[in-house]
Structure 1
């Protein structure tokens, strides 16, 4: 690994940093977007009780909002049960957008990593080619070691950039789809709670 970093030159440092950061984001998002984290079973079990309860107090609402994304959306449903339809819809949609924003945390950074690491690899390729031509200008084709170093830099940085970018892009697409799926789940749970409040839904 050390030899590879040395062969790739200084551009291997930002590529390595991107790889570590990307891996950390993947692990964090995989943990944060678990179904049990988005809609905790203990909260789901309280659905009928919450539908029959009076409007939440401010401390209870804050506690529920910080509990989970489902808690944030349900807190908006419960806090606006006595408001007009337009105000209620606006508050619930706002809570849903905030929950979606929280679930999308760090995904822009992951997408940026997927986009820039191939460019860093390409920059390393260009730097390696410049090094080769500079060697040829100074020493002709006689300095095989210097030529090999330039070729190695070009190949190693390109390969390293792609090795980081491809998994990052796959993870970025996967988590975006997962956020959309979790958002639909929250919407369904919000509608279900509203139906129970109105007495339209069956337990």
Structure 2
């Protein structure tokens, strides 16, 4: 029975199935991978939150900052960006300066691009396979010159297999793409700003303002000023 299904719904789909079958497996893998990546435990690790809220001295802050550089979670990247912004003299309040959050969330949105590509390409490949199949069917009927309607219907039915596969790939891909987009949007607009207000409020006493190097006088400029003052 399984061989019959494989023959009926895969092999008879024609050469286009060589693209659609791997694409279906790839799309399923991308969906599973992105769901794992967007879990709250990966995006906002609880141990990182607790450590950030528990910092009470400069040494703990410096150690925490070094850990952020090695941490791959989106929350770590955002906190580090706010710390660096504070060192440049910029606002570290999420409502005033949402750029660090926006930058990290943009990368999360971009990680879904392969899924959006799959739900666009899959139905097009399906229609292409159906078109090629129907063209071949009509060509054979024109050569043979017979008008066997049952054979024609059967041939068209086989040609529609690729369209079916295209939709089987595209519909779930679009559905899960929308779900994950909405999840990222909630991170961006609700969870991250609310959490970072508390975290940055605790970290702000330990952030040291560092001058931008390009505004510091170079050695040549210092020597020129010293020479000018002697004159």
Give the TM-score of the pair, scaled to structure 2. 0.72
SS in 1 for 2:160: helix
1:39 aligns with 2:33: no
RMSD of the TM alignment (CA)? 2.9
Distance 2:152 2:171 in 1: 29
- Secondary structure at 1:85 match in 2: coil
CA contact (8 A) 1:129 1:154 kept: yes
Deviations 1:147-185 (A, max 9, x none): 456313322111111111100110111111111112232
User: Which residue number in structure 2 is paired with residue 162 of structure 1?
Assistant: 167
Matches within 5 A, 1:56-67: 57=62, 61=65, 63-67=67-71
2:61–2:203 Cα contact (<8 Å) kept: no
Q: Say which one has the larger Rg.
A: 2
| C-alpha displacement of 1:76 | 2.5
Conserved? CA contact 1:117–1:164, under 8 Å: yes
| 2:130 aligned residue | 125
| Higher mean displacement: 76-85 or 15-24 | 76-85
Q: Is residue 6 of structure 2 the alignment partner of residue 18 of structure 1?
A: no
Q: Of residues 163, 167, 188 in structure 2, which corresponds to 1:183? A: 188
- The 3-state SS of whatever aligns with 1:46 is helix
Most deviating of 46-55 and 96-105 = 46-55
Query: 1:27-46: per-residue Cα shift (whole Å, max 9, x none)?
Result: 11111111111111111112
- Give how far 1:106 is off: 3.3
Change in 2 beyond 3 A, CA 1:65/1:104: farther
Match of 1:134 among 127, 134, 139: 139
Query: Deviation digits for residues 43-91 of structure 1, max 9, x if unmatched?
Result: 111233337546955x8535314421111112223344454235x579x
Corresponding residue of 1:73: 78
Q: Runs of 5+ in structure 1 lacking a partner?
A: none
Contact 1:131/1:150, CA 8 A, preserved across alignment: no
SS at match of 1:21: helix
Give the Cα separation in 1 of the matches to 2:11 and 2:154: 10
For residues 198 and 139 of structure 1, what CA distance do their matches in structure 2 show? 83
The answer to which of 1-10 and 48-57 deviates more is 48-57
> Distance in 1 between the 2:32 and 2:101 partners?
24
2:43–2:75: 8 Å Cα contact kept in structure 1?
A: yes
